[in-house]
Chains A and B, each alone.
Chain A
Amino acid sequence: MPKDSGIGASSKRREDVRFLTGAGNYTDDINVHGQTYVHFLRSDIAHGRIKSLDTSTAEAMPGVVKVFTGKDFEGVGGMPCGWEVTDKHGAPMQEPPHPILAQGKVRHVGDPIAAVVADSLEQARDAAEAIDVDIEELPAVIDMKAAAQDGATLVHDDLKNNVCYDWQLGETDDAKVNEVFANAAHVTTLDLVNNRLVANPMEPRVAVGEYKRGTDEYTLFTTSQNPHVIRLLMCAFVLGLPEHKVRVVAPDVGGGFGTKIFHYAEEAFCTFAAKACNRPVKWTSSRSEAFMSDAHGRDHVSKIELALDADNNFIGLRTNTFANLGAYLSTFSSSVPTWLHGTLMAGNYKTPVIQVNVKAMFTNTVPVDAYRGAGRPEATYQLERVVDKAARELGVDPIALRRQNFITQFPYDTPVALTYDTGNYNGTMDKLEAAADLAGFAARRAQSETKGKLRGLGINCYIEACGIAPSNIVGMLGARAGLYDAATVRVNATGSISVMVGAHSHGQGHETAFPQVVADMIGIDESMIEIVHGDTSKIPFGMGTYGSRSLAVCGSAMVKATEKVIDKAKKIAAHLLEASEADIELKDGQFSVAGTDKSVAWGDVTLTAYVPHNYPLEVEPGLEETAFYDPANFTFPSGAYACEVEVDPETGKVSIEAFTAADDFGNIVNPMIVDGQVHGGIGQGIGQALLENCAYDENGQLLSASFMDYAMPRADDVPFYGVDHSSQTPCTHNPLGVKGCGEAGAIGSPPAVVNAVLDALNSGGKAVDHIDMPVSPSRVWAAMNG
């Protein structure tokens, strides 16, 4: 029986009412009295030395308040990187400065050179055109392998080379790895590219900085997934401001997908300039600006080798990856190709020997950082593509090969630093085989062939690590932040509840799902509970939302705080019922004395807490509790996906005919929201697999700089999805037994799509081993005719 409220109910997303009726409050909706507008003059050259920069004409233009250049920020810190990676020789990564406005050099198309603050945006743009800048063009560093060569042009003159770090995980003894491969019965090798993506949330980035001279207080309104993180980084590392004088607000945010985690120069600029100009400063990114200033995602070039024994057991795995970091280190960029990627290379398989090698490169491109899945899609794509290729080379069933190598005993220590607490990979595969009607595939293929189409089936398994944790371990791995979260449960006198959470909702539906948990614990109606988030002046602290962590980490803090509230309320109830606290039970919003018919309602207890006339002397008045929660381990969602495609052999066009996902997310609070998260993730994964491609030419010009050339998935590019999450192995170490579902779809779908296309081509007699994403019509046609 589906529930109609509380944990397990598909409660309708209450926030959608305001989103769908135009009543949302996005950052661009915020306008502050006396506000000015900033326009950034951005480099149209990928790499060059600024010879001269003259802003005098611009300064005299109508409406101009002030023109800023790199000089204005010489005494100010640069944009920080939040994760120090140690290379395989024990040395820290190379960490070049990342100025707010260019200092001496420009390093990618879009790098801000100057900023004009004016009364209107058009005046700011007019003045920016009058800035006289002379840039001596330098050779652009674009290709990662060329960038790694000795003598390559340097992106950062003060570094020894363009390699940020040369990192390794897993087996450190090369001889041992070589021996495994030498003794293998079969080795499958694959070279592949994980294409660079632009996240393109529907809402572009916006920042409004405000400064109150009277109280020396700053407010930054910004499109962020984690306002406290922005406040901490901006105050402690960039501007040197006292945190208690700075408020950061991230109101309704129209999608983030990772790209709104990071602290961006424009945020620090607006905060700084608000004081310098003594007027509020607003910046709204245009879509064109977003393409060249939002952190991009992915961009790995990898070689992966899989060794199998004579019985087709996986015995060794080795990867060599070049990871593009772009021109500067974005906030969490260094962690993505390393601890969020290398650690996932075991996947769902008990491969005993694994060696992961990653060279992270500086290039004259937009910085690259986390994008939905962050590192885990790159790992999964390599692994699941090579497994599929191995199955084809060996002539064995790809599902059977996977099942044979599945990890089945938990907890399981991988050779790449993780301990999977629980999982059931055969369980999700069983669900997939049924839900996707794999038995009926042959008939569907025959049907497609009568229409002259090639039909393919692609299978994929994934494991991911969510709710990145615990803080003491990530600290050892180089994180410069803790990864706990916090919640305050504030019960009002009349019994309604405000829950202040550190997680930030920008599409995830927290405002609906989080109350379901509290309502369930107390036994009151969901509508009595409201979630407050996105404002450092309202919530205790929060590390924000990314890495599918909100419910697993912040939700756990909320559960702990609610437990504290209930404990205290029981003391009050015991006093009112003249019973012992140990005998008080809470059910359906009623406190009762066990074994009697004596009870008192939730609302009477909460009122008593605030009107403490008849009240236990040893208990403080009021009913409000805060909890911080630091997880003991990651959570490990997993799943099996099936994609069916049709390929038009005449044009190379691929259409997705069916897509089925069987996920294990542990316990589920709101099945409808989980379905939606999986749908969105698969949509983005299909986008990566078939359509999206952020491409630079050899001079560092962005070829896909608008939606005219950057193909976003549209509704008719994706099918109706089948989603099954009935195979559940609850997380063993958080109170709700939840794992996280936000990224799964984007991790699990790209290899399924590519595997399906290759299956289709091979069924048509085309022995095609691999096509790089996006698997566009022209690439499919070229592969078929190559």
Chain B
Amino acid sequence: MYSFEFEKPSTIADAVAALATEEAQALGGGQTLIPTLKQRLAAPSKLVSMSGIPEMHGVCVEDDGSVSIGGATSHATVAREAAGSYSALAALAGQIGDPAVRNRGTIGGSVANNDPAACYPAGVLGSGATVVTNTRQIAADDFFQGMFATSLDEGEIITSIRFPVPQAASYQKFLQPASRFALVGVYLARFAGGVRVAVTGASEDGVFRWSEAEQALNKEFRSDALTGLRVNPANMIADLHGSKEYRAHLVSVMTKRAIEACI
């Protein structure tokens, strides 16, 4: 890697100040960023670690019943501490990578990175969560802007993410055989006000909501409600691990399995 400065502030304000330096970058668990640096694919002037900021850690239930997760909370912590309050999300966190990745990687890093095959973006979009930053609150529907793109500004920090808790939810992940990221992952959440279906791994445009499926499920919430319904293969990713048609097919299968898990 190229050399860089390192800071580990203990407050959000100090972190924001540290990130004001040109080419400074936030460091979460480093599970994406550090390999990128090792390959010399990025050259930040400074890394500002989120790990020493107490208010960005942990899982808590808010007065309105929503679950709030600090931006620097590890996947392993979410898997453990959200198991009671939001079990589907905890299960998602528990399926990310391997124990080492789960103990280092953070929800803020994952969501900020918005890898098209990552799991959390599906959980956040599928839950209709709110991404809270040092300056504002961003609805999930406005946050994800396509592969590796988000509405975060330069130097903006995800301090927490607030999840409304659905009546039922399920994340169905079909593993890409090599990376074990999602070849296709479907997060389905059923709220009193309607069903949300978010799909990761599949699309050229990153995580997306499958609105036709949502409409069908809002009419009747049954596993055969989607019969005949399919996402358009044209927008799907094609690579070594699966064609566009295969991914489109898997979206239907994984959604059906998510429905069954919610019934």
Listed in ascending order, the chain A residues whose CB lies under 8 Å from chain B are 122, 125, 129, 288, 650-653, 690-691, 693, 695, 703-704, 707-712, 774, 776-778, 781-782
CB-based contact B178/A695 at 8 Å: no
A-B pairs, 8 with minimum CB distance: A711-B178, A778-B242, A711-B177, A708-B179, A778-B246, A650-B253, A709-B178, A691-B177
Given known contacts A125-B40, A288-B39, A708-B178, A695 and B240 CB-to-CB distance under 8 angstroms: yes
A703 to B246, CA, bound (A): 19
A129 to B39, CA, bound (A): 12
Add 8 more A-B contacts to A122-B1, A707-B178, A777-B177 (CB < 8 A). A122-B3, A129-B40, A651-B174, A691-B178, A703-B240, A709-B241, A778-B241, A781-B249
Minimum CB–CB distance for A119 against chain B, Å: 15
A690 to B178, CA, bound (A): 11
B72: interface (CB < 8 Å): no
Minimum CB–CB distance for B242 against chain A, Å: 4
A695 to B177, CA, bound (A): 15
Interface centre among B39, B240, B242 (most CB of A within 10 A): B240
CB-based contact A704/B240 at 8 Å: yes
B151 surroundings in chain A (CB, below 8 A): none
B161 surroundings in chain A (CB, below 8 A): none
A703 surroundings in chain B (CB, below 8 A): 239-240
A653 surroundings in chain B (CB, below 8 A): 174
A774 to B239, CA, bound (A): 15
B253 surroundings in chain A (CB, below 8 A): 650-651
Listed in ascending order, the chain B residues whose CB lies under 8 Å from chain A are 1, 3, 39-40, 174, 177-179, 183, 239-243, 246, 249-250, 253
A776 to B179, CA, bound (A): 14
B241 surroundings in chain A (CB, below 8 A): 709, 776, 778
CB-based contact A776/B177 at 8 Å: yes
A712 to B239, CA, bound (A): 18
Interface centre among A651, A708, A778, A781 (most CB of B within 10 A): A778
B40 surroundings in chain A (CB, below 8 A): 125, 129
CB-based contact A781/B178 at 8 Å: no
Q: CB-nearest residue of chain A relative to B3?
A: A122
Pairs across A and B, CB under 8 Å, 22 listed: A650-B253, A651-B174, A651-B253, A653-B174, A691-B177, A691-B178, A703-B239, A704-B178, A704-B240, A709-B178, A709-B241, A711-B178, A712-B178, A774-B177, A776-B177, A776-B241, A777-B242, A777-B246, A778-B243, A778-B246, A781-B246, A781-B249
Q: CB-nearest residue of chain B relative to A693?
A: B240
Minimum CB–CB distance for B75 against chain A, Å: 18
A695 to B39, CA, bound (A): 21
A703 to B178, CA, bound (A): 12
CB-based contact B178/A710 at 8 Å: yes
A711 surroundings in chain B (CB, below 8 A): 177-178
A781 surroundings in chain B (CB, below 8 A): 246, 249
A288 to B39, CA, bound (A): 9
B3 surroundings in chain A (CB, below 8 A): 122
A709 surroundings in chain B (CB, below 8 A): 178-179, 239-241
A777 surroundings in chain B (CB, below 8 A): 174, 177, 183, 242, 246
Minimum CB–CB distance for A513 against chain B, Å: 33
A776 to B40, CA, bound (A): 32
B1 surroundings in chain A (CB, below 8 A): 122
A691 to B177, CA, bound (A): 7
Minimum CB–CB distance for B139 against chain A, Å: 31
Minimum CB–CB distance for A121 against chain B, Å: 11
Interface centre among B178, B241, B253 (most CB of A within 10 A): B178
Minimum CB–CB distance for A464 against chain B, Å: 28
A531 to B241, CA, bound (A): 46
B179 surroundings in chain A (CB, below 8 A): 707-709
Minimum CB–CB distance for B40 against chain A, Å: 7
A762 to B178, CA, bound (A): 27
Minimum CB–CB distance for A698 against chain B, Å: 14
A122 surroundings in chain B (CB, below 8 A): 1, 3
Minimum CB–CB distance for A711 against chain B, Å: 4
Interface centre among A125, A709, A774 (most CB of B within 10 A): A709
A125 to B38, CA, bound (A): 11
B239 surroundings in chain A (CB, below 8 A): 703, 709
Q: CB-nearest residue of chain A relative to B243?
A: A778
Minimum CB–CB distance for A704 against chain B, Å: 6
Contact of A782 among B39, B174, B183, B243 (CB under 8 A): B243
A712 to B179, CA, bound (A): 9
CB-based contact B246/A782 at 8 Å: yes
Q: CB-nearest residue of chain A relative to B238?
A: A778
Minimum CB–CB distance for A365 against chain B, Å: 16
A653 to B240, CA, bound (A): 15
A609 to B250, CA, bound (A): 76
A703 to B241, CA, bound (A): 11
Q: CB-nearest residue of chain A relative to B249?
A: A781
Given known contacts A709-B240, A778-B243, A651 and B178 CB-to-CB distance under 8 angstroms: no
A412 to B250, CA, bound (A): 52
Minimum CB–CB distance for B124 against chain A, Å: 23
Q: CB-nearest residue of chain B relative to A709?
A: B178
Minimum CB–CB distance for A781 against chain B, Å: 6
A708 surroundings in chain B (CB, below 8 A): 178-179
B39 surroundings in chain A (CB, below 8 A): 288
B246 surroundings in chain A (CB, below 8 A): 652, 777-778, 781-782
A691 surroundings in chain B (CB, below 8 A): 177-178
Q: CB-nearest residue of chain B relative to A707?
A: B178
A707 to B180, CA, bound (A): 10
A129 surroundings in chain B (CB, below 8 A): 40
A782 to B40, CA, bound (A): 38
Minimum CB–CB distance for A284 against chain B, Å: 13
A708 to B178, CA, bound (A): 5
Minimum CB–CB distance for A475 against chain B, Å: 43
Minimum CB–CB distance for A462 against chain B, Å: 26
A782 to B243, CA, bound (A): 9
A710 to B3, CA, bound (A): 30
Minimum CB–CB distance for A712 against chain B, Å: 8
A778 to B239, CA, bound (A): 11
A708 to B39, CA, bound (A): 14
A712 surroundings in chain B (CB, below 8 A): 178
Minimum CB–CB distance for B173 against chain A, Å: 12
B243 surroundings in chain A (CB, below 8 A): 778, 782
A141 to B241, CA, bound (A): 24
Minimum CB–CB distance for A718 against chain B, Å: 13
Q: CB-nearest residue of chain A relative to B38?
A: A286
Minimum CB–CB distance for A764 against chain B, Å: 16
Interface centre among B1, B174, B246 (most CB of A within 10 A): B246
Minimum CB–CB distance for A166 against chain B, Å: 32
A777 to B241, CA, bound (A): 8
B174 surroundings in chain A (CB, below 8 A): 651, 653, 777
Minimum CB–CB distance for B101 against chain A, Å: 13
A776 to B240, CA, bound (A): 10
Q: CB-nearest residue of chain B relative to A712?
A: B178
A106 to B111, CA, bound (A): 41
Minimum CB–CB distance for B54 against chain A, Å: 34
Minimum CB–CB distance for B207 against chain A, Å: 19
Contact of B250 among A125, A651, A693, A776 (CB under 8 A): A651
Minimum CB–CB distance for B38 against chain A, Å: 8
A712 to B180, CA, bound (A): 11
Q: CB-nearest residue of chain A relative to B1?
A: A122
A650 surroundings in chain B (CB, below 8 A): 253
Minimum CB–CB distance for A417 against chain B, Å: 38
A690 to B175, CA, bound (A): 14
B250 surroundings in chain A (CB, below 8 A): 651
A710 surroundings in chain B (CB, below 8 A): 178
A691 to B240, CA, bound (A): 11
Minimum CB–CB distance for B32 against chain A, Å: 11
Q: CB-nearest residue of chain A relative to B98?
A: A714
A710 to B243, CA, bound (A): 17
Interface centre among A125, A129, A693, A781 (most CB of B within 10 A): A781
Q: CB-nearest residue of chain A relative to B179?
A: A708
A652 to B242, CA, bound (A): 11
